Structure 1
Amino acid sequence: MSRPETGMTSHPQSPLRLLPAHEYRRERWRNGFGWTREILRSTDCDAGRGDDWDWRLSIAEIECDGPFSSFPGIDRELVLLHGNGVRLRFDDGEVREAAPPHGRVRFAGERTVSGELIDGPTHDFNLMWRRDRIDADLWHRPLVGSMVLFVEPGERWVVHVLSGHAHCSDGAMRCTAAMSDSLLLSTSDARHRFAIDGGGEVLIIRMRRRDREV
Structure 2
Amino acid sequence: MNSPDPQPAVVLVPRAAQRRVRWKNDLGWTTELAVRPDGASEFDWRVSIAEVDADCTFSNFPGIDRSVLVLSGPGFDLHVDGEPPAPLRLGGPAHAFSGDRTTSCTLVGGPTRDFNVMTRRGRVRHSLFIAQAPTTLERAPGLGWVVYVERGAVTLAEVRAEAGECAVLEPVSEDIPPIALSGEAALVLVRLHVDSHHSAG
User: In which range does the TM-score fall when normalised by the shorter chain?
Assistant: 0.7 to 0.9
Aligned length, in residue pairs: 191
CA contact (8 A) 1:97 1:103 kept: no
Q: For 1:121 and 1:159, how far apart are their aligned partners in 2? A: 24
Q: Match for residue 49 of structure 1?
A: 40
1:200 paired residue among 182, 185, 189: 185
CA contact (8 A) 1:70 1:110 kept: yes
Q: For 2:70 and 2:130, how far apart are their aligned partners in 1? A: 11
Is 1:178 the counterpart of 2:168 in the alignment?
no
Shift of 1:29: 0.5
Q: TM-score scaled by structure 1?
A: 0.81
Q: What CA deviation, in whole Å up to 9, does each residue of 1:114-133 have, x standing for no partner? A: 11111111111000001211
CA contact (8 A) 1:151 1:185 kept: no
Q: Match for residue 99 of structure 2?
A: 109
**Counterpart amino acid of 1:181?**
E
Q: TM-score scaled by structure 2?
A: 0.86
Q: Percent identity?
A: 34
Q: Match for residue 15 of structure 1?
A: 9
2:84 paired residue among 78, 94, 97: 94
Q: Secondary structure at the match of 2:61?
A: coil
Aligned pairs (5 A) from 1:49-88: 49-50=40-41, 52-88=42-78
Q: Match for residue 155 of structure 2?
A: 167
**Counterpart amino acid of 2:194?**
R
Q: Secondary structure at the match of 2:16?
A: helix
Where do 5+ consecutive residues of structure 2 fail to align?
1-7
Q: What CA deviation, in whole Å up to 9, does each residue of 1:125-168 have, x standing for no partner? A: 0000012111212232122xx32323234432111112111111
Q: Match for residue 139 of structure 2?
A: 151
Would the alpha carbon gap of residues 103 and 119 (structure 1) be closer, same or farther in structure 2, given more than 3 Å must change? farther
- Cα-Cα RMSD: 1.9
